[in-house]
Chain A
Amino acid sequence: MPLSAIAYETEPNFTEAPISAQPSVATLTNITKHYGTTRALDGLSLTLRPGEIVALLGPNGAGKSTAIKILLGLIAPTSGICRVFGSNPREATTRTRVGAMLQVARILETLHVREHLDLFRSYYPNPLPVADILRIAQLQGIEDRPFSQLSGGQKQRVLFALALCGNPDLIFLDEPTVGLDIESRRALWLQIRALAAQGKTILFTTHYLEEADALAHRIIVINKGRVISEGTPAEIKRIGGARTIRCRTRLSLDFLETLATVTSAKLAEGSVQIVASNAEAVVREMLLRDETLSNLEIASPALEDAFLALTKN
């Protein structure tokens, strides 16, 4: 039986202990936020746990930045409860444990990188040593340059560095890798993973679906201000779209459509194409009934397809 290709997803396992058993670092409970007549958030709830990297994924205007600003205490929700380390995010004691990287047009252009860090470190009771910040944000060699003379990617890394100054337990990153080339993006992912490994919690928003897939333990997909799906990257892909089975087989389309979880079966270029959510069971059944089955392929939808499917309505 020639099985030419079997492609299926294995679920990456990031943590040993189940994260859901741990206490929460921050929670949004049934948050709504109205701007005049527009509803930015509409009953949004989410929980962040220690050491996890969570991606907040959604199309433009879904409410990602609004959710982060509420968690930072920069804006007040219209209704609902926001708790960070068990207290109000606006309190100074809460803020000393939180770091933020926001979408900022520019920061003081004439100050040098080192001066920016010096200033931000002074806000926190137990700041991270400058050398550590420079290393993590990869700013070595440019620490004495004024902000205005940095490239787009370097500026982005300075903003990341500012988020780390206070050695925070909870870090919010709003579109952290925008403007970074692929190499610096991957380098930043490594640093973010290292921070999570130290027990820090990271919530980031991104437009790069690949980034959410590669970096997050958990993805929260939001649209129009509410959570529409939540899970590991693999789970999101599964929820977002069934998998596609392609093969050559003698089995009839009518029969295939009767198999469990199959939503469609059709002929395309001499092979059948079956869409099913439980692809493994369908393939097992088919192999039992057709010994001549060949050219088998099982494709997971890309995260992008899953995301588009989830946010379409």
Chain B
Amino acid sequence: MATTAIMPATPASRTAAQTLRIFQKETKYEFLKLMRTRSFSLSTIGFPVMFYLLFGVANRNSFAGSVHIAKYMLAGYACFGLIGATLFGIGVGLAGELAAGWLELKRASPMPASAYLFAKCASAVAFGLIIVTLLTILGTAFGGVSLTPIEFIKMLGLTVVGSVSFASMGLLLALVVPANAAPGIVNLIYLPMSFLSGLWMPIRFMPHWLQGVAPILPTYHLSQLMLNVFGYADSVSRLTHWNALIGFSLLMLGLAWLIFHRREQSA
């Protein structure tokens, strides 16, 4: 071969500090992007807040036995809010960036793919934390909800867990759903799932035959873990809910990985 390449690539392997800076900038701008995209930030924060005011705070004096409805609904709308932020932020966001060719341009750069995924996850977590904190403030200020600091910290911890878990579903949706249909399809999955899992109203108030659907939904297991913080969960053991949530996340991740690799091969 007459044309041998004799220019060695400079061994410019990144230092840990540089890698950290990429993760930090990627996350910062992902969060800024979501914050400035009003259609995202207003609706993902606005809807759970509005619903909680209507169906949670309005029930400040309702009790079912020892269960304070406003506090019970705080757990439900916390889950509703954090799942919405994750599915729309990651599912719809990633689908759009894939379709626009933006992700391809980033893949052509030396950006580590992990930084991109981390930024998406971290931003979803951040929105989840904002939503849950807002709801908690509203609940304690206007809904007569009393919360110990430990309970609040546990809620925030579960928010992180829930966001990361549903991020796997967002990833899968982004890969299989066409970008222009993504918001509609995410709503078609997210809204019925939220309703059937008792995120909008306590599950015990629903028709009996509908209650049977809940245990197959990941939203149900997350909400039961959240309710458990207040001692409001059903009789099923916590371990079952954890297993269900982890199993769901692994299933989504596995499917996403499979689809991604099949695409890579045919690309």
The interface of chain A, by Cβ under 8 A from chain B, is 23-27, 29, 35-36, 47, 50, 72-76, 83, 85-87, 91-98, 100, 102-111, 115, 118-120, 122-126, 146, 159, 162, 166
Contact = CB atoms under 8 A, between A and B. Distances in A.
A276 to B, nearest CB: 33
Nearest to A115: B29
A157 to B, nearest CB: 15
Contacts of A93: 9-13, 110
7 contacts: A25-B5, A76-B267, A93-B10, A95-B110, A100-B108, A102-B108, A162-B105
Interface in B92-116: 97, 99-102, 104-105, 107-112
B4 interface: yes
B8 interface: yes
Given A75-B267, A107-B100, A100 B105 contact: yes
A279 B137 CA distance: 87
Contact of A86 (B6, B21, B107): B6
Nearest to A104: B101
Nearest to A108: B33
A interface, over-half SS: loop
Given A105-B100, A110-B33, A25 B7 contact: yes
A125 B9 contact: no
B66 interface: no
A87 B9 contact: yes
A83 B264 CA distance: 20
Contact of A85 (B9, B22, B36, B107): B9
Contacts of B3: 23-24, 27, 47
Given A102-B108, A115-B32, A123-B109, A97 B101 contact: no
Task: Pick the 3 closest A-B CB pairs, nearest first.
Answer: A110-B36, A86-B5, A95-B110
A267 B108 CA distance: 57
B18 interface: yes
Given A110-B36, A119-B29, A123-B110, A24 B12 contact: no
B25 interface: yes
Contacts of A162: 105
Interface residues of B, number: 39
Contacts of B4: 23-24
A159 B105 CA distance: 9
B37 interface: yes
A91 B102 contact: no
Nearest to A29: B1
Contacts of B6: 23, 86
B7 A123 contact: no
Contact of A24 (B5, B26, B36): B5
Nearest to B264: A76
Contacts of B14: 92, 125
B5 A122 contact: no
A85 B7 CA distance: 5
Contacts of A35: 266
A294 B54 CA distance: 95
Contacts of A75: 267
A96 B12 contact: yes
Given A93-B9, A108-B33, A108-B102, A123 B111 contact: yes
A220 to B, nearest CB: 14
A110 B37 contact: yes
A115 B29 CA distance: 8
Contacts of B7: 23, 25, 50, 85-86
Given A24-B3, A75-B267, A119-B25, A94 B109 contact: no
Contacts of B108: 72-74, 95, 98, 100, 102
A106 B100 contact: yes
A104 B12 contact: no
Contacts of A87: 9
Contacts of A36: 266
Given A75-B267, A94-B9, A97-B9, A108 B29 contact: yes
Given A23-B6, A93-B12, A122-B25, A111 B102 contact: no
A146 B37 CA distance: 12
A111 B119 CA distance: 15
